[in-house]
Structure 1
Amino acid sequence: MGGDCWTHTGPYEPDLAAAFRRAQEEQLSEDDHGFPGRTVEELWRDPDWHEYVFTGGTATVLDQPEMIDATDSDDGPFMRPLTDEEIRAWAPDGRPAHADWDAALDSGRLDFPSRSQGRCTVLYADGEPALIGYWGVTSD
């Protein structure tokens, strides 16, 4: 089997790691995937959650335990923001709108990461940060 690609948007916060955690908590409140009453941190300490994610996953921001630095090369199940250079490769002004992000993913100008990985970038509306765009590939 190969991993499934997914996309998601969440609220913008200047602290991308805090925005990621907020997006995870919002996603978890919508669907606990059969693990009721737990926080994201508690889920990632549970071997049953690991089995669930690594044999199918949620196809959401819940599939990564934490955010790493944009320049980190770890290939584990992490969410990684794009570097400025990576953003400018498909959004030359460095301030992509939601439609730019969608078009770049649809056209292949912006790649999906390898299995078990996620990426994110700030999306702009009227020149101001508005959302965070998340995308990734499940582990299975």
Structure 2
Amino acid sequence: MGGNGWMHTGPYQRDPAAAFRRAQEEQLAEDDHGFPGRTIGELWEDPDWHEYIFTGGTGTVLDQPMLIEATDPDDGPYMRPLTDEEVKAWAPDGRPTYDDWDAALHSEQLDFPERAQGRCTVLYTDGQPTRIGYWGVTAD
């Protein structure tokens, strides 16, 4: 088996970790994947959740337990924001729109990460941050 790529957006917040948690909470409210009544933190303490994620996953932000710094190494099942340089490689003004991001992912100008990893970047509308684009690859 190989990992499956996924992408979606979540609400913007100035604090990237808070925005990531909010995106996870929204995703979990839409689909608890058979683990009802649990928080994100509780899920990541459950060995059954680990088995579920690492043998298939959700194809969403729920597949990563936490957001790491943009400059942290790329190992582990983490969500990592792009660095400014990584963003400017496909969005020279450093303020990508949803359409810029979508086109970059579909044209392979912007890569999907390795299996069990996620990436994110702020998306802009009329020069203002409005959403965060999340994408990744399942662990399976």
TM range (shorter): over 0.9
Check if 1:72 corresponds to 2:72.
yes
Flag structure 1 segments of 5+ consecutive residues without an equivalent. Answer: none
Question: What TM-score, normalized to structure 1?
Answer: 0.99
Corresponding residue SS for 1:124: strand
Match of 2:61 in 1: 61
In structure 1, what is the equivalent of residue 112 of structure 2? 112
In 2, the alpha carbon distance for the partners of 1:95 and 1:135 equals 17
Whole-Å Cα distance in 2 between the matches of residues 74 and 45 of structure 1? 22
Identity %, equivalent residues: 77
**Distance in 2 separating the partners of 1:5 and 1:75:** 17
Separation (CA, whole Å) in 2 of partners of 1:57 and 1:74: 19
The number of equivalent residue pairs is 140
1:6 aligned onto 2:6:
yes
Contiguous gaps of at least 5 residues in structure 2 = none
Distance in 2 (alpha carbons) for counterparts of 1:9 and 1:130: 10
Give, in whole Å, the separation in 1 of the partners of 2:25 and 2:68: 18
Moved over 2 A (4+): none
What CA distance in whole angstroms lies between the structure 2 residues aligned with 1:18 and 1:59?
20
Write the letter of the residue equivalent to 1:64: Q
The SS at the match of 1:94 is: coil
Q: Residue in 1 aligned with 2:81? A: 81
1:125 maps to a residue whose letter is T
Report matched runs for 1:34-49 at 5 Å: 34-49=34-49
Q: One-letter code of the match for 1:41?
A: G
CA–CA separation in structure 2 for the residues paired with 1:42 and 1:74: 24
